[in-house]
Amino acid sequence: LIESIAGLESSASLAGNFVRNCWYVAAHEDELDQDFISRRILDEPVLLFRTSAGSIAAIADRCPHRLVPLSIGKRSGDAMQCGYHGTVVSADGRCLSIPGQTHIPRDSGTVSYPALARHALVWIWMGDRGLADERLVPDMRWLVHPQWATAKGYLRIEADYRLVTDNLLDLSHETYIHGSSIGNAEGESIANFPAAVTIEDDCVVHARRDMYGITPPPAWTGARQISGTIDRLQIATYQPPGINMTEAGYRPHGSGVDYIFLARVMHLLTPERANSTHYFFTVSRNYRSEDTALTAAIAAGNVATFKEDQLVLELQQKALLERGDDRVPNMVIGLDGAAIQGRRLLERAIQRERSDPQSAVLPFPLVPDIARWREAPAVSS
């Protein structure tokens, strides 16, 4: 009667634009205050939960028996019980019990993925599990530092994750997409100020833009209480495949002093499928860190702002699908410099993994060097 005993194999039909041997963000850690969550990552169905010991379980969201999503079942201690016939699967994907029999076939189970929580983020490794070294998790310790405050959020974007990075590496779009919040006015267009693009260690792109003598964008004049003519600094950083960072500062124009640190924004991109992206973001500051109203306002403001990007990115994706060719830019202009470098580094990382399946992405040091910035001034509240 029993023909074969087989575990559930990981899908081999992965699209070619993914790096696998690296840590991706799978969730904000507090999402796991729920019993479990289900999320498609690199086109695989993943179920995530936190065990009673505090570790993170990440297994295929498919019962090894008949492939129904385990997420229609329920937590059973540190395991999941399938909602169809009651098979129990452990946090590491092994079958713990099979209804109606005491024999548990060796090797029965479902795919599991290395995963861990660090600095308020849940990270997952979708590649060769033998390479899943915890030391390769990007260090974002400021996200939980007591002197810092972080606003955060999540959007699901119906677009290729590479288009999202393109967007983040050319912030001149802020004038057009975000004119009512973080964009300079068109007369002082961000594009007027050239970005200095540098490549570091052959693995990270930086695009720095100093904008002299401009009016603060609308979002800075309210809760942030910035006024007068300023110099504005933006540094966009990208490490393939999915880590984007934007740092922002300002100073009174003509003051000649160091920039005052305003915010460090992480845009952590994890491919859901070839043409859709999990977009986790954090916005951190090292001042007024106990002002929870400011934190909430920043979170709400950034969701609103990033939804403006979402609209454009999804229409761009649709246009590319209609054309049947995903190559962009169609016409290369000077503003594309950083994005083109980012694409090159990503393509190199994909090729490196193909030619050496034992290679893995080494994270670039991200911990903020606050000494570079002046402290934020006191603000009457």
Structure tokens at 243: 């880590």
CB atoms within 10 A of CB 9: 9
Stretch that binds its own copies, among 124-132, 186-194, 199-207, 225-233 (CB under 8 A): 186-194
- Give yes or no for residue 185 binding its own copies (CB under 8 A): no
Minimum Å gap between C-beta 33 and its own copies is: 25
d(CA 381, CA 376): 14
Stretch that binds its own copies, among 80-88, 124-132, 236-244, 258-266 (CB under 8 A): 80-88
- Give yes or no for residue 175 binding its own copies (CB under 8 A): yes
How would you label 212-240 residue by residue, b for 16+ Cβ within 10 Å and e otherwise? Answer: eebbbbebbeebbebeeebbbbbbbbbbb
Minimum Å gap between C-beta 228 and its own copies is: 26
Using CB under 8 A, pick the residue from 14, 37, 68, 116 that binds its own copies.
68
- Give yes or no for residue 82 binding its own copies (CB under 8 A): yes
- Angstrom CA distances, 363 to 36, 116, 240, stand at 28, 16, 9
Between 282 and 341, CB nearer to its own copies: 341
Using CB under 8 A, pick the residue from 208, 336, 359, 370 that binds its own copies.
336
Structure tokens at 103: 């024999």
Closest CA to 199 of 345, 80, 47, 89: 345
Using CB under 8 A, pick the residue from 33, 54, 101, 358 that binds its own copies.
101
Q: Which residues contact 241 (CB under 8 A, 6 or more apart)?
A: 18, 19, 22, 24, 161, 269, 271, 346, 349, 350, 361
- Give yes or no for residue 75 binding its own copies (CB under 8 A): no
- Give yes or no for residue 380 binding its own copies (CB under 8 A): no
Do residues 232 and 192 lie in contact, with contact meaning Cβ atoms separated by under 8 Å? no
Between 120 and 312, CB nearer to its own copies: 312
Using CB under 8 A, pick the residue from 28, 50, 173, 264 that binds its own copies.
173
- Give yes or no for residue 99 binding its own copies (CB under 8 A): yes
Site for its own copies in 294-313 (CB under 8 A): 311-312
Residue carrying the six token digits 């401009």:
214
- Give yes or no for residue 38 binding its own copies (CB under 8 A): no
Using CB under 8 A, pick the residue from 185, 315, 362, 367 that binds its own copies.
315
Minimum Å gap between C-beta 168 and its own copies is: 13
Between 91 and 159, CB nearer to its own copies: 159
Give the x/- contact pattern for its own copies in 119-158, rule: CB under 8 A: ----------------------------------------
Do residues 176 and 320 lie in contact, with contact meaning Cβ atoms separated by under 8 Å? no
Minimum Å gap between C-beta 66 and its own copies is: 5
Closest CA to 84 of 99, 105, 103: 99
Closest CA to 339 of 316, 370, 373, 323: 316
Site for its own copies in 7-36 (CB under 8 A): 7-8, 11, 13
d(CA 223, CA 217): 12
Minimum Å gap between C-beta 83 and its own copies is: 5
Between 82 and 137, CB nearer to its own copies: 82
What angle (nearest 5°) sits at the alpha carbon of residue 275, between those of residues 158 and 150? Answer: 55
Using CB under 8 A, pick the residue from 15, 30, 35, 66 that binds its own copies.
66
d(CA 370, CA 71): 43
Site for its own copies in 195-254 (CB under 8 A): 197
Amino acid at 114: P
Residue carrying the six token digits 């169905």:
45
Structure tokens at 235: 């540094």
Between 73 and 242, CB nearer to its own copies: 73
- Describe the strand order of the beta sheet including 276-285 as a list of residue ranges: 149-157, 276-285, 260-273, 243-252, 230-239, 204-214, 196-200
Residues within the interface to its own copies (CB under 8 A): 1-8, 11, 13, 45, 62, 64-69, 72-73, 81-87, 95, 98-101, 105, 108, 166, 170, 172-173, 175-177, 186, 189, 191-192, 194, 197, 311-312, 315-316, 319-320, 322-324, 328-337, 340-341
